[in-house]
A and B are shown apart, each in its own frame.
Chain A
Amino acid sequence: NLHKKNLIYYAGVSSQSNGDRFKIEGRAIVPGVKTQDWVSTARVLVEGEEYVGFLRTDGSFAVNDIPSGSYVVEVVTPTFRFEPVRVDITSKGKMRARLVNFIKTSEVIRQPYPLQIRGSPQSYFMRRETWGWTDFLMNPMVMMMVLPLLIIVLLPKVVNTNDPEMRKEMEQSMNMLNPNPELPDVSELMTKLFSGSKGSGKAGGSSKGTRPAVKRR
C-alpha cells in the first residue's frame, strides 16, 4: 500500500521537474559514408557549447535537458560540414526547425523536424598554384604574344611571295584596302622584311637568331 502511494507521489514530482525541459532530436547523415566511420568524432552543439549531445551509432541524436527558447543546432566533425539549423521550442514544448538567418532573425524557412542534417566533405585547402606548361601557354599575355608571332613567321611561308603574279595580286588587294598609297604599308614592310631575312633564317633555323639581325639593318 505504502509502495503504491510512493509511486503516485513520485509521478507528480517527475512531471514538475521535467515540465520545462525538452529534447532536440534529429539525425545526421553523410551520403555514401558509413556512420561508424565518423560518429566517434562528432558532437552536436546547441548554441555554442551551451548544450552538448552525441551521436548514436546510426547517426541519430537527441540533446536532452533543454529549456524552451531558440537555439542554433550544429553537428560538428573535423571531416564533414553540416549546415546549422535553428530550433525554436515554445514553453509548451512545440518544436520548429528553420534555416539559420542571422540578418533577418525572424524569417522562417521551415526545415523538417526531427532534424535531418546532411553532411558534405569539408575542404580546408586552397589549391596550390602549380607551374605547368598549359598554365603558361593559356596565359592571355602569352597568347597575345605567340599568335602574332606565328602569323608573322608562317604567313610568308604559306604564301609564296617570290611568285611575281601573286605579289602583284596581293599588292592590288592591299591597295584596295589602303586607299592612301603614301602611307607606309605594314604588310608590305613585313613581306620585304621577311623576304630579305629568309636566307639567314634558313641558315640559323632559329627565329631568335633572326630578330637581332633585322634590327641592325
Chain B
Amino acid sequence: MNHSRSRRNPTREPDFPTVKPPSPGGSSSGGAGAAMRLIVPLQGVVQGRGGLILGSIIPGALYYFFQLYLKRCRSAKPNSNPPSPSSSSAQLADLSRSSSRSNLSSRGSVGPVRVSARANSIAKPNASPYYIGLEMASEDPYDRFDNPDGIMQLGLSENRLSLDLIETWILENLERSMIGGADGHLNISGIATYQPLDGMMEMKIAVAGFMSQVMGTTVSFDPSRLVLTSGATPAIETLCFCLADQGNAFLVPTPYYPGFDRDMKWRTGVELIPVHCRSSDNFALSVTALDQAFNQARKRGQKVRGILISNPSNPIGNMLNKETLYSLLDFAREKNIHIISDEIFAGSTYGSEEFVSMAEILESEDFDKNRVHIIYGLSKDLSLPGFRVGVIYSFNTSVLAAAKKLARFSSVSAPTQRILISMLSDTRFIQRYIETTRERIKKMYVAFAAGLKQLGIECTKSSAGLYCWADMSGLIRPYNEKGELELWDKLLKIGKINITPGSACHCIEPGWFRCCFTMLAEEDIPVVIKRIQRVVET
C-alpha cells in the first residue's frame, strides 16, 4: 500500500524561488531543416560581391527581426506558467483577507526606476491558488439565506464559532473597560498618549496569563519576555529580522502555512528550505530529514539560521509530542541554530491529547533557552483577527531587546489593548470561553470529517487547529500537482467551494487539501458535502 507517492526525488535540490523564463513560440527539430534552407543561400551572398558588408548587415537584420518576433510572442501569452508552489510568485500578500486584487496587470510593465525592486516584485498579481481562492470566495461569499449559490469559504482559518460569547462580554463590560476611571469619569490619556511601543505592561501581563490559561496552565509565561505586535504576521517578520541576515535560511517542515512565504521572506531576504514530511508517517517531522536538509544547505554554501515549526501544525492539525520537541532542541543545539515555534493554534484543540508548548519543555528541562522563540496571537484562539494582537515570546534577552525596538513599526492600538486587558483579566470568562470553543470546534470537526468520510475522503488524524487535512488523492487525475489543481479549480468554480490545495502549502504528495470548517455553521456541512459530491461525480 505504501508505495512511494512522491512526485519528486527526495534528494533533489530543495525548491528555490526562481523566475521561470517564458517559453518562446516553439522551435522544434523541424526548424533545423528550414534554417538550413535559409543559411545556404545566405552563405552564397556573403561569399560573393560586397560579401563583408552584406555578411554583417543581413545576419544583423535577421537577428533584430528574430528578437522582435520573440518579444511579440512573449507579450502575447503573459504568465503562461501554471502556478507552481515553488515559484517566487507565491510571496505575495493577501493571506486570510477578503480583498481585491491589484489593478496593475493591465498597465504592463511598471517603470523601472520609479519604485523599488521589492515593490515591483509584488506588483504582479499572485498566482498561488491559496490567494486566488480566498479572493474569489470573498467576492461572492456564501450566505445560507442571502446568497445560497455563493462560494463557501473553507480556505480561511478563522474561528467564528464562539464570537457570540465575546460579543456578549464586550457589550456587558465595555464602558467600564475602555476608558472609564474608577469614578466613572472618562480619562482618555490612558489610551491617547504614547504607550510603550512593544505593548503596555498590563497588556503583557494579561496576554501572558491568557497564554498560560489557554495552554492548560501547565506552563507559565513571563510578561517581561513578551513583545506585542499588530498581529502574528509582523511578529514572525520581526523575529526573522532579528535572527537572520539576507540570504540566510530557515528549515520549514512541509506542508506549511502559505503565508510564511510572504511573511518570512519578502522584506527580510531570508530563504525558506522545505523539509518534506510524508503521509506514510502521518506527516510527522523527522530529525533525519532536518539533518539532510541542513547538510545540503551547507554544501550549497547557504547558512541555516533556524527551524520554523508550527505547533499545532497548520495545515495538518497535529501536535508535536514531547519526544519530538526534545529531539528538535537537541538538533538545534548540535547545529547551533534557533527554533521558532509558531503556537498560534495552541488553544484551538479538540482531541484528547494535551498541547505541549516549547515553553513547557524549557521550564522543566535543562535546555539552552536562548535559541527558542515562540510566536502567538489572538487571531485564532480568541477569534479576534481584526484587533491585531500578536506576540513574540523569547528567552533570549538580546532578541527581546532588538524586537522591542522593532515593535515600533507594528504596535498594537492602545484602546484595543485596554479592552483586551479587561477581557483577558476576567479569567472566569476566559475559562468558560476556552472550554466552550473547544467543544464547538470538536463538534464541527467530527461532523465534517464524518461527512467527508461518506465520500470516501479520509482526513489525517488531527487534534487541533480550525481545519482538517483531507486526502483527495483518489479523486485526482492524473496523480500529480496538475491533477490536484484541476480538482481545486473545479471545486472552486463549479462546486463553489474554496479549499486550499496541498501544493500551495508545499506538500510533496499531490491530492491533499486543507479544509477549514470553523467559518461554517453545522447546517452548512451537508451543503459542502453535497457540492463536493457533485464535482467528484462529474
Answer yes or no: are A and B bound together in one complex.
no
- List chain A positions with a Cβ less than 8 A from chain B: none
- List chain B positions with a Cβ less than 8 A from chain A: none
